[in-house]
Amino acid sequence: MSQLFSNNAESTLSAALSDSATTATVADGSVFKAPTGGDFELLTLLAAGVYEIVKVTARDSNTMTIVRAQEGTTAQNWASGTRVFAGVTAGSLAALLANQATESGALAIGISASATGGGIAIGNWASANFDESTAIGSSSSITARDTLALGTGANVYAQRSSAVGFLVNVYGTDALVAGRSAASYGNQSVVLGDGGFVETEGTRGVAVGRNVYVGGPDGVAIGALADVDFEVVGGIAFGQTAVITNRSEQTAALSVVPRANGVEADTAWKQTGSASVICTGVLDLKALQTYTVTLPTGVTFFPEEVGIIITAASGVTLQPSVRFGATGDEARYLAITQTAADTVHGRDRYASLASAAGSSTLRAEVTTAATGSALSGRVYWRGFAVVNAA
């Protein structure tokens, strides 16, 4: 509920007004506000040195709904032609002053705004109750010193942190969050982008992009839907949908040229992709399994090489067989082939692929399980991603 104001607005009653009437008709109602939803405007009726302040809660053309006898005035019988104007009232000024300062050095402006300890709160229901804190925006709030909350529903709960945007929350110290519905619990963290999130364990984490997630310390995730899981320390996920989910992983990248917008000088760049290596987490090669990578909508990946990197091996008595393909075409790139590498850091790589066609889903399958004490590794695809033409 807000008070509305009109500059130097004035009219006259076009019909007499009794002391119990709750509607008033004026000669020209258009000069006044038309309140809705609980808002109101205060008007003064004045004749022969007698006045009454009324609260206008609605207006339909020249007819106004009013609440009588405001600010200690008395309801009167008013004749047609009585002066009606939007004047400054003592109650309006008192309300403004009450919302300006609640403590020496503090400033609060807005309905139910509050500030103490040198804080500055601007906006309805804004609060800044610590030294050197600033909250600007409806329902923004500060509960720690040396902080900034800027935007509707922006909230800061830890020292030396800043929240910028709609419904942004910062719980970690020395953190910066900017975007929409973004949040950070990690100390010394940075979140830039709608829906970005850093966990409590994500100290010094950096999340940049839409719906980006960092769960582990020193993690960096850049790109829409990029993800560094909470078990990963110092992981770097770079590119749209790049994900690191295993503590033994350090980097993951999927480079994709974004869709072109508008007219470009050279339209050939619309389909230019960059070289990428897509690598899975560690897989147990002693078990039959299938691993599928689903690419973002509109993206096609063209493998130039596929293979397996061995991460653990012991007492291998039978090598596994693998094949690489796409959903619905399981051997598109490599027919069932028995591997040879059986030592840590060994690699089986296959560069003579059965097809040069691209795919929006990449599939790797262990068709015959290895036998022995241990054999595990990562499967990978090396090639380039291209955004399909519109």
Contacts with 67 (C-beta within 8 Å, 6 or more apart), sequence order: 22, 40, 54, 55, 57
Q: Which of these three, 67, 89, 111, is where a domain ends?
A: 89
CB of 216 within 8 A of CB of 230? Answer: yes
Q: What is the DSSP letter of 271?
A: G
Q: Look at residue 252 in the predicted model and tell me its pLDDT.
A: 59
Domain count, the chain: 2
Residue 36, in any domain of the structure? yes
- Confirm whether 112 is domain-assigned: no
Give the DSSP letter of residue 269.
G
Q: How many CB atoms lie within 10 A of CB 334?
A: 21
Last residue of a domain, one of 89, 105, 137: 89
137 within domain boundaries = no
Q: Is the pTM above the cut of 0.75? A: no
Give the type of residue at 164: V
Dist CA 277 CA 270 (whole Å) = 21
pLDDT of residue 225: 81
Q: Determine whether 25 is exposed, middle or buried from the number of CB atoms within 10 Å of its CB (0-12, 13-18, 19+).
A: middle
Residues 6 or more apart whose Cβ sits within 8 Å of residue 9: 31, 32, 85, 86
| pLDDT for residue 246 | 66
The answer to the question of residue 71 being in a domain is yes
| Predicted local confidence at residue 73, as pLDDT | 95
Of the three residues 22, 55, 89, the one that is the final residue of a domain is 89
Q: How high is the mean pLDDT in each 10-residue block of the chain (390 residues)?
A: 87 96 96 93 95 96 96 96 94 69 67 82 86 88 90 92 92 93 93 91 90 90 84 80 67 50 42 69 93 83 95 96 95 97 95 94 96 95 73
* Residue 118: inside a domain: no
* pLDDT in the model for residue 17: 96
Domain annotation covers residue 84: yes
The CA–CA distances, whole Å, from 315 to 222, 286, 319, 322, 372 equal 40, 12, 11, 20, 5
Closest by CA position to 367, among listed 321, 311, 302:
321
Tally of helices (H runs) and strands (E runs) in the chain: 1, 37
Full residue range of the structural domain in which residue 82 is found: 3-89
Residue 261 pLDDT: 42
d(CA 302, CA 328): 16
pLDDT value at residue 132: 83
Residue 316's domain is classified under what CATH number? Answer: 2.60.120
* Per-residue pLDDT at 71: 94
Q: 31: alpha, beta or left, given left = phi > 0 and alpha = psi -120 to 50?
A: alpha
- Residues 136, 139: Cα–Cα separation, whole Å: 9
DSSP assignments along 199-267, one per residue: -TT-TT-EEESTT-EE-STT-EEESTT-EE-TT-SS-EEESTT-EE-STT--EEE---PPPP-S--S-G
Q: Quick one: pLDDT at residue 258?
A: 42
- What DSSP string runs through 91-150? HHHHHHHHTT-SSTT-EEESTT-EE-TT-EEESTT-EE-STTEEEESTT-EE-SSSEEEE
pLDDT of 264 reads 41
pLDDT at site 260:
39
Whether 145 maps to a domain, the answer reads no
Measuring CA to CA, which residue among 2, 3, 11, 20 is closest to residue 61? Answer: 11
Please give the single-letter amino acid code of residue 53. I
338 DSSP β-pair partners: 321
What is the per-residue pLDDT for 340? Answer: 95
Residue 56 placed within a domain: yes
CATH label of the domain that carries residue 57: 2.40.30
pLDDT of residue 97: 61
Which residues on neighbouring strands pair with residue 128, listed in sequence order?
115, 142
* CA quadruple 290, 291, 297, 301: dihedral, nearest 10: -110
Q: What pLDDT sits at residue 381?
A: 93
